[in-house]
Structures are given as structure tokens and as C-alpha cells.
Amino acid sequence: MKRILTLATATTIALVLNACGGSSSNTTSIKGKLVDSPVYGAQYRCGKVDNKITQADGSFVCETLPVTFYVGGVKLGEVHTVPEDGYVTPQDLLGVPRNNYDTAVNNLALFLQSLDDDGDIGTVITIQQKHIDKLKDKQYDIHTMTHDQVVQLLTEINTARVVTREEAKVHLQRHIEAIKTTKNPTTNNPTTNNPTTNNPTTNNPTTHNPTTNNPTTHNPTTNNPTTHNPTTNNPITHNPITNNPHK
């Protein structure tokens, strides 16, 4: 009886461990990039993940949706699905089409761009910890704020500079146009199926060296009748002097 109980207990433990292992192995990561130039240092939360920050390329990783982005106490927006191209833009955060550049979109772009640490937003927007700390006690939702409120908030925390509405719009437009032709490598990198990865030289007829079957490689001199020295059978090699009757 004791042996049977021990076996039953061991079986139960194995089943529990197996179930736990199966659960973790089926976890799927949701990846994307927050952009208007890549945004480095924005905070986000999703499921059990809280107070994580986007990386230098704007990337974030979650196990569940939605994903909410914020800086200190200022909510930037959220997405319930990550777009197919893997990028999350200000328009995506506000739930509007990417060709929309209304006041709310412009305010969010202006806010992000003005938070950059050195005013150079060409390659990356870097949000400093000191700005996060200054905004921690603020409670705002960016899409309900007016332009003047956004500018005032940025002035209060003393950012490097506050970009203009036109600068914010032009920069965002350029970046939206750029990502139209760029697939996010974290989602579906087009180079994995790019025909250029199938090196054409492997099947290129030119790789089959024509000289290997070129008739010119068969040296014509080997069978050239001129290689058969005509002097060997030349009748003049039979010296007429040896049979000269006048000898």
C-alpha cells in the first residue's frame, strides 16, 4: 500500500511539473518599436510588466496586450494590437490613421521630440531620467491637452528646447514616409525571404566555367595533323644516294 501511494504521489508531482513547464514554453513575446525617430527611454506597461523602458531602437517586449506608454505621469497612449510592420507611431498611440496630423497627433509628436536630451532628433529621441522624475507627479493624458498646455509643461521641466508645431509635423511626416518602405526586423524581416539571399551565383550559368567544356580547352595541337611530323614519312628521308646506281 505504501509503495502504491508513493507511486501515485510521484505521478501527481510529475504531472504538475509538466503542466508548469508546458505553460511557460507556450509563452509568445509581442515585440515592436515606438517611433517618431526611435524613442529611447519611454516607459510602458503591459500585463504583469510595469515600468519598463523602450530601448535605443525604440523596441519593447510584452507577453500580453494592450501596451500603454507614458513618461512620468503623462500618458502617451496605448495600442491593443501592434501594427503589422512592427512600428508604433504617435498616430497608432492615439488610434487614428497614419496620414492624420491633427492637433492631438501634433501635440504628441511635439512632446516626444522636445523631450530629447540634446535637441538632435534625427536618429533617436532620448528621454532623460531627470525629465521622467519631473513628470512623475503630473497626471495628464496627452491627447486631451491643448498645444499651450503641452508647451507650458515642457517649459516647466526645462527641456533642451521646445520644437515648433511645424517642426514637429515635418519630422513626423518624414519618419512616417521612411517606415513605409522599411520592415521592422523584429517582426517580419523581409531579408529572410529576400531573393538576394539566394545567391544568384550559385545557379548562375556563368559559375559553370565555360572553359571546362570549351572546345578550345581541347588543345588542337594534340590532334593537329601538323603534330604528326611529315618528315617521318617523307620520301626524301629515304636517301636516294644509298641506292644510287652511280655509286
State pLDDT tens for residues 202-215.
Answer: 444 444 444 444 44
- Cβ pair 108, 143 in contact under 8 A: yes
- pLDDT of 163: 97
Counting Cα atoms < 13 Å in the Cβ hemisphere of 233 gives: 5
Q: Residue written as cell 523602450?
A: 54
Per-residue pLDDT at 183 exceeds 80: no
Tell me the three cell numbers of residue 102: 491633427
N residues, the chain: 247
In angstroms, rounded to a whole number, what is the distance separating the alpha carbons of residues 138 and 75? 10
Integer Cα distance of 183 and 190 in angstroms? 7
Contacts of 237 (CB under 8 A, 6+ apart): 231
Interval 175-179 mean pLDDT: 95
Average pLDDT for 143-166: 96
Q: How far is 42 from 67, CA to CA, in rounded Å?
A: 12
Q: 129-146 pLDDT, tens per residue?
A: 999 999 999 999 999 999
| Residue in the structure block whose three cell numbers are 531579408 | 191
For the question of whether the overall pTM of this predicted structure is more than 0.75, the answer is no
Q: How far is CA 87 from CA 37, 55, 188, 223, in A?
A: 11, 13, 11, 70
CB atoms closer than 10 angstroms to residue 225? 6
